[in-house]
């Protein structure tokens, strides 16, 4: 096999977490006169909101903890504030996939060293190959070692691993398990250069659905673990027929571990793979959790159990099935995270993946897996009893505005629990990641004094026993990873449309409250009546299509919502975009489906009528002054309605791009002033920022702007000035976030290289009441203010 070696990118050290804002180039008065201001950047607090795929404790230094997320970068724990510090805000737009972290490793010998394996997708959705990021200062600054293949930080299997590890016997040596048949890789110089391990025999072969753009990738080499008693290196591979390999000579040669296929490769007729491992070096055990699906969002197996827990005695080679025998709801769907208590040999925990209803289960054993206790159980019928209470004061939205329904609580242990870790220095502390947050407690060993949850009376009935519960709370403060799809800044209130968790309302930027109809899983578009910002409209849809696209209305700035009527709506629809006229009297909704005619309502959504003259899937907006006028764009054609959305006509505009238009917005206080963004990777497609002053009939391309992703408006710099314009763009070859205070003549970049957030800013808007403030989508909701 040809040996492939790749060095770090030249000059790859970059400014990372904790960097200052842009340097002060001139005095404050001169900067303000020119529109050049230094900015400070903060988060509108949500706390979590997405999948936390891994939690890694340093094994030698207490309180040194990292977590990784699929789309929101990685973080380091701050013990004094009990918050997480983001480490990858420096990632530039050109390398946006670096914010998708598939694995992390913290050095047990030199704790200042930390590593991250990054890359978004193994298909062509991410144009770049993956990389290993290496830091000698705990993520303060990073170097980049580019790889010759892609990695899947947001692909199936992203919670398995860890794929990236430091050899504790020689911390200059790191191993990387890769997807897509690329095999096992190794670095001997602290992650600076990498080469394929030539003689590693198996690159994996497990594919969920061949030919599928997401599910069709080979899961590859999943994890590497070290037996420090016998000096062996173990490698888990996504191959049910050959799932485990070991080296007894420091990685020079590799052999399949005898009995591994029989122990790990199937359960109840379901082919399984070894998705995670944990080593007990005191007792000489390697624990392996398996699942029929790499996750994280899988359902149950077709029949029977979907996974098991197997124990290998590393010195004798003896295999023992230590799978918990009981799940209150029936079969075990498979296992996600598994972790060992290094302070108490023989104690381990594991999580189901995905139990879904009524909740996930955490299992705990104090006798090396011989017996297990559960985090909750049923008494007679479905009378649920629990070992701990869940405190959501750090994230009140985790109820999703729902209520307990029997054993299915509104606040859940979670779902997609692949990240599960007991603190190696403190047996009382555990953290686990879910699809929405991080849970944790510092009272874990109270579990062992509670005894059984259930007993049987003489009649054979299951009776709940009294339990003195401990408390589990949110440990996601500082982690922000919501996918923000739209924003509405009302002045004193910020409303967001969000993927996966629907949306929020912020009247205090340090606290998020759930908003938008709670039966929806995502919202895709927002608008408000310019003359009555209490009136907001949104469009979204339910989980996995169980509720079709719909429109919601709030008349109290997003505090409460009602869903509109369905009279006049097609049966099968997706949310698309929605607009409300400046006075709130008309609503136009354009579902994103290519065969569904847009509709309008004159009675706040009670009934709907088909729009005339507008193609399906058109993007719609309202004029912010003239209540009769609305606008739409589709395929290079710009449309205008002068009768409140009942009919649209082509404005006859020419020169607009036929594709690559992700956004257009209408300036407040300026009748007929429209700004349209264009971006594309195709050389033949025009890109930039276009401006119309006559309602979309004629357009002027702003010469300075090479490419624009998003545009929005905020308070003007002077009383009768043009609204401040904010755009996510490329200007003069420089990617960034820019502001103009003179109607688009002059533009100044307001962020610096330490604050780029990858592909952030597809949604950007100013604040109507605070000059200089800007909100943008990225790692959750980011906002910036003028520093002085």
| H-helix segments, 65-175 | none
Question: Taking the C-alpha atoms of 521, 525, 526 and 529 in order, what is their torsion angle to the nearest 10 degrees?
Answer: -140
Q: Which residues are within 8 A (CB) of 162 and not within 5 positions of it... i.e. 6 or more apart?
A: 54, 56, 103, 104, 105, 223, 224
Instruction: List for the chain the helix, strand, coil content (%; round to 5).
Output: 5, 40, 55
CA atoms within 13 A on the CB side of 384: 22
> Three-class SS of residue 545?
helix
Cβ atoms of residues 622 and 629 within 8 Å: yes
User: In whole angstroms, what is the distance from residue 391 CA to residue 474 CA?
Assistant: 7
Cβ atoms of residues 402 and 521 within 8 Å: no
CA atoms within 13 A on the CB side of 643: 8
User: In whole angstroms, what is the distance from residue 579 CA to residue 589 CA?
Assistant: 6
User: In whole angstroms, what is the distance from residue 352 CA to residue 332 CA?
Assistant: 7
Cβ atoms of residues 729 and 738 within 8 Å: yes
From the candidates 70, 217, 225, 386, give the one annotated as an active-site residue.
Answer: 70
Question: Taking the C-alpha atoms of 156, 105, 151 and 175 in order, what is their torsion angle to the nearest 10 degrees?
Answer: -110
The distance in angstroms from the start CA to the end CA of the chain is: 60
Does residue 500 carry a catalytic annotation? yes
**CA angle (309 as vertex; 307, 313 as ends), nearest 5:** 145
In DSSP notation, 690-723 reads EEESSSSSS-EE-TTEEEEEEEEEE--SSTTSPP
> Three-class SS of residue 779?
coil
User: In whole angstroms, what is the distance from residue 647 CA to residue 671 CA?
Assistant: 19
Cβ atoms of residues 298 and 334 within 8 Å: yes
From the candidates 500, 593, 694, 785, give the one annotated as an active-site residue.
Answer: 500
> Three-class SS of residue 684?
coil
Does residue 452 carry a catalytic annotation? no
User: In the numeric block, which tokens belong to residue 328?
Assistant: 């209150």
> Three-class SS of residue 100?
coil
- 489: nearest Cα among 763, 277, 270: 763
Report, as residue numbers or ranges, the catalytic residues: 70, 500
């Amino acid at each position: 096999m040809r040996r492939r070696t790749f060095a770090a990118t030249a000059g790859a050290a970059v400014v990372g977490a904790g960097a200052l804002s842009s340097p002060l180039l001139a005095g404050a008065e001169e900067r303000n006169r020119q529109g050049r201001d230094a900015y400070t950047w903060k988060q509108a607090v949500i706390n979590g909101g997405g999948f936390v795929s891994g939690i890694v404790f340093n094994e030698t230094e207490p309180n040194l903890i990292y977590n990784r997320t699929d789309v929101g970068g990685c973080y380091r724990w701050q013990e004094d504030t009990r918050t997480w510090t983001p480490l990858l805000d420096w990632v530039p737009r050109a390398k946006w996939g670096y914010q998708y972290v598939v694995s992390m490793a913290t050095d047990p010998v030199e704790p200042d060293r930390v590593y991250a394996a990054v890359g978004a997708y193994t298909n062509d959705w991410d144009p770049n190959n993956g990389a290993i990021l290496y830091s000698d200062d705990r993520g303060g600054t990073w170097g980049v070692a580019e790889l010759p293949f892609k990695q899947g930080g947001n692909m199936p299997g992203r919670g398995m691993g860890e794929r990236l590890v430091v050899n504790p016997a020689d911390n200059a040596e790191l191993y990387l398990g890769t997807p897509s048949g690329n095999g096992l890789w190794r670095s001997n110089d602290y992650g600076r250069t990498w080469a394929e391990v030539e003689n590693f025999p198996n690159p994996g072969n497990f594919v969920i659905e061949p030919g599928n753009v997401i599910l069709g990738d080979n899961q590859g080499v999943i994890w590497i673990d070290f037996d420090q008693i016998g000096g062996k290196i173990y490698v888990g591979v996504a191959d049910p027929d050959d799932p485990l390999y070991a080296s007894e000579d420091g990685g020079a040669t590799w052999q399949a571990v005898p009995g591994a296929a029989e122990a790990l490769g199937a359960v109840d007729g379901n082919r399984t793979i070894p998705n995670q491992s944990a080593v007990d070096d005191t007792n000489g055990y390697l624990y392996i959790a398996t699942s029929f699906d790499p996750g994280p969002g899988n359902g149950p197996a077709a029949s029977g159990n979907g996974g098991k827990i197997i124990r290998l005695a590393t010195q004798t080679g003896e295999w023992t099935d230590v799978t918990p025998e009981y799940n209150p709801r029936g079969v075990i769907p498979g296992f996600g995270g598994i972790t060992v208590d290094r302070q108490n040999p023989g104690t381990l925990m594991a999580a189901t993946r995905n139990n879904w209803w009524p909740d996930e289960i955490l299992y705990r054993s104090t006798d090396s897996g011989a017996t297990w206790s559960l985090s909750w159980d049923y008494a007679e019928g479905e009378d649920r009893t629990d070992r701990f209470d869940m405190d959501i004061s750090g994230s009140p939205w985790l109820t999703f505005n729902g209520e307990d329904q029997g054993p299915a609580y509104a606040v859940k242990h979670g779902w997609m629990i692949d990240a599960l870790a007991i603190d190696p220095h403190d047996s009382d502390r555990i953290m686990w990641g879910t699809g929405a947050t991080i849970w944790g407690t510092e009272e874990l060993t109270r579990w062992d004094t509670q005894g059984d949850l259930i007993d049987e009376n003489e009649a054979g009935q299951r009776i709940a026993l009294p339990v003195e519960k401990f408390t589990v709370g949110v440990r996601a403060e500082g982690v922000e990873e919501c996918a923000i799809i739209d924003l509405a800044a009302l002045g004193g209130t910020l409303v967001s449309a969000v993927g996966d968790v629907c949306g929020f309302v912020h009247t205090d930027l340090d606290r998020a409250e759930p908003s938008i109809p709670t039966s929806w899983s995502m919202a895709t578009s927002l608008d408000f009546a310019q003359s009555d910002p209490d009136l907001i409209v949104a469009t979204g849809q339910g989980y996995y299509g169980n509720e079709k696209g719909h429109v919601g209305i709030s008349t109290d700035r997003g505090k409460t919502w009602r869903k509109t009527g369905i009279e006049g709506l097609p049966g099968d629809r997706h949310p698309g975009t929605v607009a409300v006229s400046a006075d709130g009297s008309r609503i136009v909704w354009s579902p994103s489906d290519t065969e569904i005619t847009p509709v309008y309502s004159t009675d706040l959504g009670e009934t709907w009528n088909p729009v005339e003259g507008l193609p399906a899937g058109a993007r719609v907006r309202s004029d912010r002054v003239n209540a009769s006028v609305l606008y739409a764009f589709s395929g290079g054609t710009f449309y205008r309605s002068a009768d409140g959305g009942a009919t649209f006509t082509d404005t006859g505009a020419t020169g607009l791009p036929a594709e690559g238009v992700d956004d257009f917005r209408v300036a407040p206080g300026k009748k007929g002033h429209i700004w349209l963004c264009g971006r594309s990777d195709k050389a033949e497609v025009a890109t930039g920022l276009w401006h119309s002053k006559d309602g979309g009939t004629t357009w002027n391309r702003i010469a300075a702007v090479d490419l624009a992703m998003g545009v929005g408006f905020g308070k003007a710099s002077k009383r009768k000035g043009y609204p401040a314009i904010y755009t996510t763009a490329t200007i003069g070859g420089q990617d960034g976030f820019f502001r103009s205070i003179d109607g688009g003549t002059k533009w100044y970049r307001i962020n610096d290289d330490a604050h780029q957030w990858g592909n952030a800013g597809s949604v950007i808007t100013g604040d109507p009441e605070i000059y200089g403030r800007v909100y943008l989508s990225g790692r959750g909701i980011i906002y910036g203010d003028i520093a002085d």
